[in-house]
Structure 1
Amino acid sequence: MYLIIKFLFHENINLSELSLDLEVTRRTVANDIKSIRNELEYFNLKIESINSIGVKLVGKEIDKRKVFSLYILKFLRDIDYLPDKLKKMLKEIKDIMEFKGIVQTVKYIVDNLEMPSSGLLMRSFEVLLSISFIRKNYVDSSLEVNVISTNGILNPLIKELLEEIKFITKYEKDTILSWCVSRSYEYIINGKTNCLERMKKLLELINLEFKSNFILTKPLLIKLHSLIKSYDFKKEYNIKEFYLHNRNLSEKYEHMFSRIKKIVLRELKGIDSFDLMIISTIFLELLTLNLSFKTQRIQNVAIVYNFINPLIIDDLCKKLLINDIVNNSNYVYINHLDNYLKVNRVDSVLIFEDINLEKYNLKYLRLSLPLSFEDILKLEVIV
């Protein structure tokens, strides 16, 4: 897969130089190319030979950028486990995000969305803009997509900001605007997305199962929508996030949670275990009494997140267990943690996902969801 990232930076690749770079034979390189040809065909792309010396990636530029996005998102997620040469290329991409102002631009866009977003959306925007910068000299007609109508449901400042970025094409603008619009409450509630019907169906099944009468309020819609969009994205790109379940739960609590999970699994086929847990926890929250625990106030806490929406963490912690800690914490997207640590003191870190913090000299605690009374004992680690 190293070859895919090489194509991001170079139109033509010399196979002899590539084999030397990877310290493998040309036959090995040729076998690797053969193995990824089928996958590229799905995106209408082909690898063609150039005079028996090298290869080039052939196809529409828009399809190439979609492939690059797919692989970069996957590689950045697993960067700690990748070979050093691939890590080096990914570091170049991360440096572009930082030094070309892409991280700051994306933060501004996300901060101006009507509905809160997740780290997944932020990273998707960062990758999209980075590819546009790297590929600014490789533009064809496939990138000239139609600009969507966003009147009345999108902050005009986002449009203005995108217009000021010289290196992006209509494809990047249209993609970002589409994602932003799809996260507008007006857009969702008017039935312009199938997310609304799926949310209604889930709630209807929960009400039927538990003989309850919950309604789809705006706060509940906002939480569920961000999760279903994340589910759709990860399903499209075959991204799986795994989750360690909190087993210190009462029998009654666990039984109720299992019944909810069965409904979600039936309706959102192929959902990964992490999204399953989050959506089920939201419904569990509606069905159980809120717990109130006193915790010792602590300072300089960072809640580090990746895919999960900070709004959901905030809501769960405040209502279930650790309100005082949340009030004294800052949310930090995992890919921004290095920069955050340069200018902020952090005594402790809370995480709710499978996030590797071993390279940091930080005291951290992983809390499993759904939160239970036993979690109060774990807080001694950071108090």
Structure 2
Amino acid sequence: MTAVIWLYQFTIFTFIFSLFQIPYTAAIFAHEDIGVYAVVSTVECLLRLGAAILIGKFMIDNLSFYGMCLLISSIIIFTIYMWYGKAHYKECHYHKTTDRKLYKELLSFSGWTLFGNVANIGMQQGNIILLNIFFGATINAAFGVALQINNAFGALCNSIIIPLRPAMIKAYAEENFSYLNKLFSVGNKLILYALLAIGTPIILEMPNILNWWLNITDESFILFARLIIIYIVCLSMNNPITAIIQATGKVKEYHLKVESITLLCLPISWLFFTFHLPSYFALISMIAVSVVAHTIRLFCLRKYYRSFSINSYVTTLLLPGITILILGVGSSHLLQQNIDSNFLRVLFIFLYSPTFFIVSALLLGTNKSEKKVIYSYVHSFITKRLCR
């Protein structure tokens, strides 16, 4: 109990310093200095890795020590962001303002955005509580492993959308809607095909991955891990939509409609468990709710951004994406069935499947203008890295 209390205190302060760094990371994104964000993020990962390696090396409770190290890491990262922001951006210096309209707009925007984030976190954490009540610690642990996979895929998705978000908001502000539509389409396709390329081989070889990673062979762990990948693919497709909605400023109506659907996940899961359905129906509920919420997002985008076409979204993204998914999964499964060695099967699946999705996406999933945008971003990224 003492260790838990200390960990709780460390976590609170870690969260506070994470909040403090938001204005500085926002300034970095606004100036499109993505390389700086990448470097600092790498430093943060290394600090956390170092904390994990040092567990057990000191005469301190391991849980308390790890929480303390995460707090120190958070303070260091905040300090780096604050120093860089103040050194390079004039807007990162404090200026007192009495503009009440500005305060009202900022509080409304941040408040409704926070409501959206809390709804998604509540859906996951609420399901943890329900699983613990109805099924106990083992199933709860399976869901915890699945959430670790969810966090990894979420980080991948964020790394894709972060470079595009400032350009999308700038294009909307300049009323350059043709360019914004290209960025929106490119962002959707990058997220979809990247997640399919990485998620498909992981889903197919999940039994071997969990066995090698955590020495786990329990079917519930495998099923939860597979379903969470399907959930994150469905959920991640909202990122380009949210970027445009935030650019329009219509966040109140958007989050109120969407998150009202999201919050239905918990009562649905409770009903499933009350009627004695299996534990994995928690994830079935999450997937179903995310699909319905995404449909609501599309109609919200159509209402607040007149240049968006749902028909075009379906014909240029969803239909080619589903076709490529069916072909990719089918051919990967066929290859999987013809290799007996576990190691060789995993190796070939992880070589073949991503290659298939990347090549198919370039040949069938993107048009010439989208290829140009992708190539220009890749060229710009490489050029910036070489010139530093």
RCO greater where, 1 or 2, for CA within 8 Å and sep 6 or more? 2
TM-score surpassing 0.5?
no
More helix by share: 2
More strand by share: 1
What is the TM-score of this pair, normalised by structure 2? 0.25
